[in-house]
Amino acid sequence: MGTTKNKLLSLLLVVAMLTLSLGTVFAQETHTYGEEAVTLNRLGLFKGTSQTAFVPDLGGALTREMGVTLLLRLFGLEEDALGMTEAETAAALAPFTDTGAVSGWARNNIAYAVENGILVGVAADRLAPMEPLIGKMYATMILRQLGHTVDAADYDQAAQTLSDKGGVTPEEAQKFNEKALIRDDAVGMTFGSLQAVDGEGRKAIDLLVASGAVDGELAAELGVYAAPVEEEEPGPDPAGRLADYTGRAFGLVLETARVLNSAGDEVQELEFLIGKDVVYVPTRDDDTLDLDLQAALDAGDLFGLRMQFGVVRNASTSGLDFAGLGTVSGFEDHTGSAWAKVLERNDSVVTIDYDGDEDGNPDIRTIIEGPIVYRAKLVGGKVTYEPGVLRDIKADAFVRLYTVSGDDPGIVEVVLVSEMVNVR
């Protein structure tokens, strides 16, 4: 008999253990938002019911005062609420006769929500803090905090409105609107509301990250936040002042390259030194400029471009009399297509060893105030140029002197200068 009783007790114990185990599994399966609860906890937006470990208690019922706390935590406002003084708290709660029902831990949160229009009473003098939290109540608080107006006419459809703002799915809105929420439901609404937009179209999670309430990197890692892609400021147009230019431009072509234009066509691009600026200007789709670039740079020739709307249509040099550019009126070459040695310079007056008139005397030229000066240099054994200044023009240097505009005939406007004696 004793053996039979022992067997029966053992069997009952096994059944009980199985029942508890199955009950635990069933309870876990009915909680839809367990993973979301963990995510919110990691973001600092949801706490459990234990002070020592995260125990979400997703099956726990919620009251209105609990809902307020969840909301303030969601929007990073709990610290502000806890910072209210007792006098401020008492003043906010003064119109209500049931404030004695507010839990001590929730008192500041309720006062803050009332003071900021997040929570209104169920009547003019009643807060009903311990009444169940209904889905449309919680949705209303979320919407108000996001800056949306929810009046009496809108209240009954608050969860649907939250869905319209991106906070919950339509199915969730229908499920939660009239329901007395448990913590699992509130987690679902809270988590979804991270993507709800405010009156200016900004997502709640973006506002939380911007305010510092939520760590952006962590939120992005958890998949609830997409960091905005900073659009790079468009850089200056590589064509600079010639970007939309139509007319003739004079300077030095330093290099050429094959590049793709905005239409994806391969064109030739000229690296063009004009004054103190290096710009990059394209040719037409079907043009390849046939110039002996290095020979022209060695000779100190000036380049001319004929441009239309920022595109080079033709290019030539002073050594070729600007063939293909048409008549360049006002142009003068004061050194006769060759380098001339500088004998001396006195301010803007330069004396050069050049006898254009074949009279056997040095030539004296006046340089305009603020001339364009290009200084020759060797890079990789080849002559190229950089912007120069008037003081680069000194005795024993070599120069090419040009007038381009014709505004002051005989006055030098552009100077190429080199200290390399082999250029002559």
pLDDT at 84: 92
In terms of domains, do 256 and 149 share one? no
Which DSSP string do the residues of 229-252 spell out, in sequence order? PPPPPPPPPTTGGGTT--EEEEEE
Range of the domain at 148: 32-221
Return per-residue pLDDT of the chain as tens, 424 residues.
455 444 433 433 333 343 333 333 334 446 889 999 999 999 988 887 777 677 888 999 999 999 898 889 888 888 899 999 999 999 999 999 998 999 999 999 999 989 988 888 889 899 999 999 999 999 998 999 898 988 888 899 999 999 999 999 999 999 999 999 999 999 999 999 999 999 889 999 999 999 888 999 999 999 999 988 777 676 677 888 899 999 999 999 999 998 887 777 888 899 999 999 999 999 886 666 778 999 999 999 999 999 999 999 899 999 999 988 877 888 999 998 899 999 999 999 999 997 655 566 889 999 999 999 999 999 999 999 999 999 999 999 999 999 998 888 899 999 999 987 554 4
In terms of domains, do 91 and 176 share one? yes
pLDDT at 360: 64
Domain boundary among 320, 340, 374: 320
In terms of domains, do 110 and 199 share one? yes
In a domain, 325, yes or no: no
**CATH code, domain carrying 307:** 2.40.50
Q: Within 10 A of 301 (CB to CB), how many other CB atoms are there?
A: 24
Count of the separate structural domains present in the chain: 4
In a domain, 234, yes or no: no
Q: What token pair was written down for 231?
A: 């659009």
Helix pair angle (183-193, 135-145), 10° resolution: 30
**What letter would DSSP give residue 227?**
P
The tokens 């659009």 sit on which residue?
231
In terms of domains, do 154 and 285 share one? no
In a domain, 314, yes or no: yes
Closest by alpha carbon to 176, among 205, 145, 139, 140?
139
In terms of domains, do 200 and 70 share one? yes
In a domain, 402, yes or no: yes
The sign of the torsion formed by the CA atoms of 411, 416, 418, 423 equals negative
In terms of domains, do 82 and 211 share one? yes
In terms of domains, do 134 and 67 share one? yes
Number of H helices, E strands in the chain: 14, 12
* Helix ranges restricted to H, 60-134: 64-74, 78-82, 86-93, 107-115
In a domain, 378, yes or no: yes
In a domain, 216, yes or no: yes
In a domain, 51, yes or no: yes
Closest by alpha carbon to 268, among 244, 285, 250?
285
pLDDT at 133: 93
Q: In 207-225, which positions are buried (b, 16+ CB within 10 angstroms) versus exposed (e)?
A: bbbeeebbbbeebeeeebb
In a domain, 50, yes or no: yes
In terms of domains, do 293 and 209 share one? no
Residues sharing a CB contact under 8 Å with residue 65, sequence separation 6 or more, in sequence order: 102, 103, 106, 109, 110, 129, 130
In terms of domains, do 47 and 21 share one? no
| Region for residue 324 given its phi and psi (left: phi exceeds 0; alpha: psi -120 to 50; beta: otherwise) | left
